A = this chain, B = another copy of it.
Amino acid sequence: MYEGESRGGSALAGRVRSGERLALARLLTLIENQTQDGLEALAALYPLTGKAHIIGVTGAPGTGKSTLVNELAQAFRRNPPDGRDKATTVAIVAVDPSSPFSGGAILGDRIRMRDLAGDSSVFIRSMASRGALGGLARGTAGVVEALDAAGFDKILIETVGAGQAEVDIARTAQTTLVVAAPGLGDDIQALKAGILEIADILVVNKADLPGAENTQRALRAALEMARVADPMAPSDPDPTHPTPRESTTDSWAVPVLATVATQGEGMEELLEAVVDHRRHLIDSGELVTRERARVRAEMQLLLRDLLAARFLERESDARFEAALERVLTRAVDPRQAVAQLVLETEAGV
């Protein structure tokens, strides 16, 4: 599979390396479609990764996330990184889980391209996924690796909601922003959605609306509760999902910031918090710990996929179908059927 690189994959990697934006766009499509050329190009580019600051931005619909992400990208553009006079380069990956309208993601791109028009250093990519379990998170990982290798300083991953896919994507990021809007913070349901435990920075956007201060207060109280409750919480039983955030509880105090993204208000403070968090990750050694946990989880997921694909390749369809029939007639349960299938195959029956 990886013995030799085809001409297509390595040529594309070379063009991406030399900064061709069209080649990059094509590579991202190949990665999303899991083509051989895409995977080969990604393998060739992998040694160049590890330089970008990867920032996840999540929150409920209606909180103004997209505007906030655009404004944050522009703030980064205005602020060159320390010790460099070259402008910061920014990529935005907007993840739109399973939109029923296939045109949605493309329309989104067009609208947002206009906001950042003329600024060729902000690269925007929308991803729409239809239903692949874990596929969204894995596809995003490859896209982020490609953008990292292509030399972007900051990669912003924007996801809607706080479902499992979003939590997984947030774990791909080094710094995770959770965006709320006034009114949401007072609602116990918002606190139950599992978003607090993934947040490195909390943002109350639309802070010019009534109730913004209440929301900030409620979020601070919820953070305090979570901090107190956490030592009693059960540890994660799934080894593929370490909980890297837990170890930072003592050393990083999650700030609760107020912004009005449509007016650009509060963006400098937000930028500062994002940069501070990156510095904290580096100084504390947490960046290395998180990277190790993330790569371990990614490899375990890839192992699952590869083993299942190879098993189903070797195994005749007829045997899987026969096992399926046994389950449908309720002769065995799904777990027994799969265990028997694997045992028989290993025994060479």
User: Which of these, B98, B232, B339, contacts A164 with CB under 8 Å?
Assistant: B98
Are A104 and B46 interface neighbours, CB within 8 A? no
Tell me, in angstroms, the Cα distance from A328 to B296 when the chains sit together.
10
- Identify the closest chain B residue to A324 (Cβ): B296
Which residues of chain B are within 8 angstroms of A134 by Cβ–Cβ distance? 133-134, 164
Which residues of chain B are within 8 angstroms of A307 by Cβ–Cβ distance? 304, 307-308, 311, 342
- Kindly state the interface size class of chain A when it binds its partner: 35 or more
Are B324 and A292 interface neighbours, CB within 8 A? yes
Min C-beta distance of A261 to chain B, whole Å: 15
- Identify the closest chain B residue to A307 (Cβ): B307
Tell me, in angstroms, the Cα distance from A131 to B295 when the chains sit together.
16
A122 adjacent to chain B (CB < 8 Å): no
Which residues of chain B are within 8 angstroms of A165 by Cβ–Cβ distance? 163-165
* Known contacts A295-B327, A295-B334, A327-B295: A130-B100 contact under CB 8 Å: no
Are A196 and B100 interface neighbours, CB within 8 A? yes
Tell me, in angstroms, the Cα distance from A325 to B145 when the chains sit together.
17
Which residues of chain B are within 8 angstroms of A50 by Cβ–Cβ distance? 330
Are B98 and A49 interface neighbours, CB within 8 A? no
Tell me, in angstroms, the Cα distance from A194 to B237 when the chains sit together.
30
A1 adjacent to chain B (CB < 8 Å): yes
Tell me, in angstroms, the Cα distance from A104 to B166 when the chains sit together.
21
Which residues of chain B are within 8 angstroms of A132 by Cβ–Cβ distance? 236-238, 240-241
Q: Which stretch (A14-22, A78-86, A185-193) binds chain B?
A: A185-193
Are A295 and B328 interface neighbours, CB within 8 A? yes
Which residues of chain B are within 8 angstroms of A332 by Cβ–Cβ distance? 43, 46
- Identify the closest chain B residue to A39 (Cβ): B335
Tell me, in angstroms, the Cα distance from A320 to B240 when the chains sit together.
13
* Known contacts A46-B332, A61-B193: A238-B131 contact under CB 8 Å: yes
Tell me, in angstroms, the Cα distance from A78 to B132 when the chains sit together.
39
Are B311 and A299 interface neighbours, CB within 8 A? no
Interface positions of A from 293 to 342, Cβ below 8 Å from B: 295-296, 298-308, 310-312, 320, 323-324, 327-328, 330-342
Are B194 and A99 interface neighbours, CB within 8 A? yes
Min C-beta distance of A203 to chain B, whole Å: 17
